[in-house]
């Protein structure tokens, strides 16, 4: 850590005079925190927990099962590598034996569709960062044999739910820098807690934490931007317009959460020919958890990966039991990778 980081860490040590829990909502933040062992330099009374910041992890089992149903119906299913090994009720996309392709993005899935007669479905996961790209692909007029299963989620409604429940006793949020690059941070101004948009270098994260602590000490609750080199209050307005031209908010379940109002995105009626759920008559069902996996609690900031009795034993990146051990943005996978620093 460079001198600035050490200076901020010392300042935090002087200022933290009470128990504080801040949540970040971003796998990249967790990776940076764990890789650099940042938790070790924080004052003992300051805790930073990960929330629902991994889009693959928060995709509920019912949507994984829906993707498997599409494979069973003979579709070519294209998606990101991280989703392949997430367990559904009966196996994963990887073990399905169907035509499942790993792609880097929606454009590659459209390319596959252009070169086959088969039906190609893109399993479209991600927050506000990825939805505009998918919207652009839909507007570009993909072939008729292309569709998407929209598993997109919006971050603010989940934060609202977390604050209303109050179970994690959070005093503030480190806002996700990547999401805010697109969505801005104006929408977060509705929440009555300290919030700071933070970048991804250790010094960025420490500065964000320092700004949160200062707000708490002053009794303030506002949104500050510690990542102005990438984020503005309004964000990328064109990308937001693109996203809402193609998608509309819909109530959606998140893994570990109930159905959260207006937290998902579905294709608007004029684009429903690209909606795989309608095209193939797929139903997304709620699935009750059957394992000892604590992903649901990890995603709500209620448990740390190492509190799970399966962590590093039955559940490893080679033998994942839950999605948080599968995805590179999942807290369990990150803690397992950097475990000498993450714990």
Interface residues with ligand SF4 (CB under 6 A)? 293-295, 298, 305, 308, 310-311, 315, 321-322, 324-325, 332
CB-nearer residue toward ligand SF4: 216 or 325: 325
Shortest approach of ligand SF4 to residue 108 CB, angstroms? 28
In contact, 107 and 136? CB cutoff 8 Å = no
Token pair recorded at residue 68: 């498997």
**How many Å apart are CA 113 and CA 281, to the nearest integer?**
20
Shortest approach of ligand SF4 to residue 293 CB, angstroms? 3
CB-nearer residue toward ligand SF4: 36 or 327: 327
Q: Which of 23, 54, 30, 27 is nearest to 125 (CA)?
A: 54
**Residue number with the shortest CB distance to ligand SF4?**
322
Shortest approach of ligand SF4 to residue 84 CB, angstroms? 15
CB-nearer residue toward ligand SF4: 1 or 314: 314
**How many Å apart are CA 325 and CA 56, to the nearest integer?**
11
- Phi, psi (degrees; rounded to nearest 5) at 81: -55, -35
CB-nearer residue toward ligand SF4: 55 or 184: 55
Shortest approach of ligand SF4 to residue 221 CB, angstroms? 31
Q: Which of 277, 292, 1, 275 is nearest to 134 (CA)?
A: 275
Beta-ladder partners of 152:
126
CB-nearer residue toward ligand SF4: 160 or 333: 333
Shortest approach of ligand SF4 to residue 332 CB, angstroms? 3
**How many Å apart are CA 343 and CA 341, to the nearest integer?**
6
């Amino acid at each position: 850590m460079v001198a600035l980081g050490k200076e901020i860490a010392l300042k935090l040590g002087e200022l933290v005079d009470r128990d504080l829990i801040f949540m970040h909502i971003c796998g990249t933040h967790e990776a940076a925190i764990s890789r650099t062992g940042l938790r070790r330099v924080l004052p003992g009374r300051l805790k930073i927990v990960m929330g629902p910041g991994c889009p693959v992890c928060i995709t509920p089992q019912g949507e994984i099962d829906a993707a498997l149903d599409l494979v069973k119906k003979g579709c070519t299913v294209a998606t990101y590598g991280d989703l392949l090994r997430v367990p559904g009720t009966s196996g994963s996309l990887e073990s399905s034996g169907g035509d499942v392709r790993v792609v880097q993005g929606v454009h590659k899935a459209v390319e596959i569709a252009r070169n086959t007669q088969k039906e190609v479905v893109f399993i479209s996961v991600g927050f506000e960062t990825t939805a505009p790209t998918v919207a652009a692909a839909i507007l570009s007029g993909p072939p008729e044999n292309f569709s998407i299963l929209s598993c997109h989620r919006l971050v603010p409604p989940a934060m609202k739910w977390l604050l209303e429940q109050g179970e994690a006793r959070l005093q503030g949020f480190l806002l996700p820098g990547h999401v805010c690059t697109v969505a801005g941070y104006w929408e977060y101004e509705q929440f009555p807690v300290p919030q700071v948009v933070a970048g991804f270098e250790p010094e960025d994260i420490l500065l964000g934490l320092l700004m949160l602590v200062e707000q708490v000490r002053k009794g303030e609750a506002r949104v500050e931007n510690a990542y102005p080199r990438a984020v503005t209050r309004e964000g990328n307005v064109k990308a937001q317009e693109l996203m809402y031209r193609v998608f509309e908010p819909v109530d959606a379940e998140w893994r570990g959460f109930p159905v959260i109002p207006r937290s998902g995105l579905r294709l608007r009626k004029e684009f429903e020919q690209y909606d795989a759920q309608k095209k193939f008559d797929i139903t997304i069902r709620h699935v009750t958890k059957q394992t000892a996996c604590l992903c649901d609690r990890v995603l709500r900031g209620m448990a740390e990966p190492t509190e799970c009795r399966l962590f590093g034993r039955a559940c490893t990146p080679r033998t994942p039991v839950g999605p948080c051990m599968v995805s590179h943005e999942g807290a369990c996978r990150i803690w397992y990778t950097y475990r000498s620093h993450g714990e």
